[in-house]
Structures are given as structure tokens and as C-alpha cells.
Amino acid sequence: MQKLLKPFFICIVLAFGTFIATAQQPMEKKKQKNPNGAFSKFIGGFSLHASTGFGMTFFSHEIQGPGILQQKDGNVYLFDNFYVIGGDSLNTGYTGWTNNAQSSSNIPIGDEDFLLGTDTLAIKYKGAGGSIPFSVAVSYTFDRYRFGGGVTYEQSFAAKYYPNALTNDLQPFKTDFVTSSITRYYGYVGGEVFRSIRHTIAIDAMIGTFKYGKKKFNPDQIKYKLFVNIGVSFERSLSEYFKVFVRPSLEIKRYELTIPGLNYALTHSAPAMYFSIGAIIRIPDLNKCPVSQCHSQINHRHGGNVYRSKMHPFWKWQNPNYGQNYPQLIKYKGKNKKKKNPY
């Protein structure tokens, strides 16, 4: 995990250094009043975000108190240390303590099985699982600051857990499911630390609640904590209203599962790293020109209102400088290079 954290923290340090360097001076920005009024300017501050990507979650939990029965075939059970083991069997043991704890009775104990009391030695299990998140959000930008909220649906893949000690006696175990879902609702706050015509770097944070799907995780046993996700967004503007971005981020979250019968609360830590790609669409603060015969290429007036050109798709600059949308002449593109008269 340390190797994975290194590039993320390099991004954080570089972005923070840029912020310190630019904090004393305002970013270059054209200060123009919106000719159509304050309401149009306010609406133009809202943006819609959509993203997907890949994540890796690093699960861990520490067992201290209950006993552990490791069977030779790979099944592992938790049991009450004070509960008397009768003969060659364990009266009651518990599995599924990562998501849905269930009890089993009269569990046979073989000669090659391993018994451990964790009141004298704590055992920590660790595992890693991938995930694919899908996120949508709404934000409002004021000067260099951003505020908003969103929702994320994530398809998560199960992890295989490995013990940190007694590896000759304790075996890795898998969960009883292959995939599960995670839903997040969060608030969003951030700030732009660098901005040019084409590029923007922003540091942001998401804080909110999360829940695993009820089909695989028992909501009656689990108590969720708030999660925090901190990332750096590297954005490229394709037009005044459309951006694409990549966002590496680090997330901290955990939940607590209480095993019924044992009355033992087990805290599961689940920090994660994500690499997201997505797009941002800003709501236009100028309407498209309503005049059907108008072919203006830039912002222009009709009557008392200012309109943007209707000649450009939304991923092209709506108020371009000369040659900005099409910097390469037709005669230099593709097969036209060999033509004497490409027009």
C-alpha cells in the first residue's frame, strides 16, 4: 500500500505547493460583468459532474477477545473464550463477521485443527479488493471555491483476508460473496489552486455517509461511520462550458459489525485509493442565439440581450479567438496535404 500511496502524496504536495505560490496573488481571470444580469451569472456558476474509474480498498480488522477455531479445510470460526468446549466439538461458532455474522452449532474439532485465544494474542486480518465507482454531482463555483454534493454507486469486489501472525496455523479466508455494492451520499468542497485558459488544478474533499448493499451486508449488525475522500482534480477545458478531468484520491472509511451471541463489536477499516476520469458541464450563462439566419461565430447582441453563437458544438469554444477552434487549416489535414486544391 505504501508504494501506491507515494504517487498520490506527490500529487498532493505539488498541488499544495502551487496553492502556496499563488495564494498571495489572485489567479488571472477576466473580470467581466454578465450583460444579461445577476441571475444569469448565478446560474452560470453551477456545474454537473459525472465520472467513473477504478478503486482499490484495503480492508483490515483486528480480533482481540474471542477465540478462533481454524479448521484444516479452511473454515474459520470465532467463539466465546469463556464458553466450555465439549469433547471434540465446539458448541457455537460464528462465521461471516465481515458482512453478515452467522452462528453454527456442534462444530467438530479435528486433531489437525487449530485453537487460539485472542485475549492473549490479537490477530489482524488484511485483504484488498477492487471496485468500479460511478458518480454524479452538482457543484457551484464562486471565484476559486467550489461547493456541492453528489451520489456514488460503486460495484465492489470481495477481498481475501490474510492473518498477520501464526501463518503456519491460521489460513486465509474468503467472504461468502463475490461482489457487493456501495452507495455514498456526500457534500463536496474544494478550491482551484491553478487555472489557465486550458487547464485547472483543484484540491477537493468529499464528506458523507456510505452503506453496503443489504443483500450482502446485514444492516441490523452494522453501524457505519462518516467517510472522507480527498483528491486532486487535473482538468482540461475543451470549451467555456465543458471540461474533462482525471482525479486521484484517497478515502478513509470504516464500519462496525456487532456479532450477535458474542456481543462483540468488530471495527473494520476500509481505506481506499481511486483513480477517476470524468467530465464537467457548466450551465451556460448565455442563451444560444434564437435568430435562425444568424451565423455569428462569437458572443453577440440582438436587441438588449447578449447571446452565444449557435455555430459550435458544446465541446468547442463558444466565444473563440481567431483560429482557436480550428487551429489547423483544412489543406493541412489528412489526404488534403497531397492535393493542389484541397478546397
Residue 11 main-chain phi, psi, to 5 deg: -60, -40
10 strand-pairing partners: none
All CATH 2.40.160.20 domain ranges in the chain, comma separated: 2-62+124-282
Which pairing describes strands 254-259 and 300-302: parallel, antiparallel, or unpaired?
A: unpaired
Do 248 and 7 form a contact (C-beta atoms < 8 A)? yes
Q: How confident is the model at residue 154 (pLDDT cuts 50, 70, 90)?
A: very high
* CA pair distance 140, 198, nearest whole angstrom: 20
> What percent of the chain clears pLDDT 90, i.e. is strictly above it?
45
* Of 80 and 30, the one with more pLDDT: 80
Query: Would you state the pLDDT for residue 11?
Result: 54
> What percent of the chain clears pLDDT 70, i.e. is strictly above it?
81
What is the grid cell recorded at 241?
Answer: 462550458
Q: Which residues have CB under 8 Å from 35's CB, separation 6+?
A: 301, 305, 306
Query: Would you state the pLDDT for residue 43?
Result: 83
Which pairing describes strands 123-142 and 114-117: parallel, antiparallel, or unpaired?
A: unpaired
What is the grid cell recorded at 52?
Answer: 467513473
* CA pair distance 109, 220, nearest whole angstrom: 30
Q: Is the pLDDT of residue 61 over 60?
A: yes
Q: How confident is the model at residue 52 (pLDDT cuts 50, 70, 90)?
A: very high
Q: Is the pLDDT of residue 302 over 90?
A: no
Query: Would you state the pLDDT for residue 30?
Result: 46
User: With a threshold of 0.85, does the pTM exceed it?
Assistant: no
What is the grid cell recorded at 229?
Answer: 475522500
Give which of 104, 98, 118, 110 is closest to 166, Cα–Cα.
Answer: 118
* CA pair distance 135, 154, nearest whole angstrom: 8
Q: How confident is the model at residue 155 (pLDDT cuts 50, 70, 90)?
A: very high
Query: Would you state the pLDDT for residue 22?
Result: 44
**Taken in order 41, 34, 306, 303, is the CA torsion positive or negative?**
positive
What is the grid cell recorded at 230?
Answer: 480527498
Give which of 196, 155, 176 is closest to 76, Cα–Cα.
Answer: 176
Q: How confident is the model at residue 41 (pLDDT cuts 50, 70, 90)?
A: confident
Do 118 and 68 form a contact (C-beta atoms < 8 A)? yes
Q: Is the pLDDT of residue 339 over 80?
A: no
Which pairing describes strands 46-63 and 264-269: parallel, antiparallel, or unpaired?
A: antiparallel
Query: Would you state the pLDDT for residue 25?
Result: 41
What is the grid cell recorded at 132?
Answer: 468500479
Mean pLDDT in residue range 171-193: 93
Query: Would you state the pLDDT for residue 268?
Result: 95
* CA pair distance 318, 147, nearest whole angstrom: 25
Query: Would you state the pLDDT for residue 38?
Result: 73
Q: Is the pLDDT of residue 20 over 50?
A: no
Q: How confident is the model at residue 86 (pLDDT cuts 50, 70, 90)?
A: low
Residue 74's region, left for phi above 0, alpha for psi from -120 to 50, else beta, is left
Residues 314, 44, 231, 245: what is their CA dihedral angle, to the nearest 10 degrees? 10
Please tell me the class of the 2-62+124-282 domain: mainly beta
End-to-end CA gap in the chain = 57
Q: Is the pLDDT of residue 26 over 50?
A: no
pLDDT digits (tens, 9 = 90+) for 211-254: 999 999 999 999 999 999 999 999 999 988 899 999 999 999 99
Query: Would you state the pLDDT for residue 24?
Result: 41
* Of 275 and 240, the one with more pLDDT: 275
What is the grid cell recorded at 323?
Answer: 483560429
Highest mean pLDDT among 8-12, 180-184, 305-309, 329-333: 180-184
* Of 284 and 252, the one with more pLDDT: 252
Residues 256, 258, 262, 264: what is their CA dihedral angle, to the nearest 10 degrees? 30
Q: Which residues have CB under 8 Å from 288's CB, separation 6+?
A: 307, 308, 309, 310
Query: Would you state the pLDDT for residue 40?
Result: 72
* CA pair distance 22, 62, nearest whole angstrom: 44
Return the DSSP state at 21. Answer: H
Query: Would you state the pLDDT for residue 31?
Result: 45
Do 62 and 265 form a contact (C-beta atoms < 8 A)? no
Mean pLDDT in residue range 40-68: 91
* CA pair distance 299, 78, nearest whole angstrom: 70
* CA pair distance 70, 76, nearest whole angstrom: 5
Q: Is the pLDDT of residue 12 over 90?
A: no
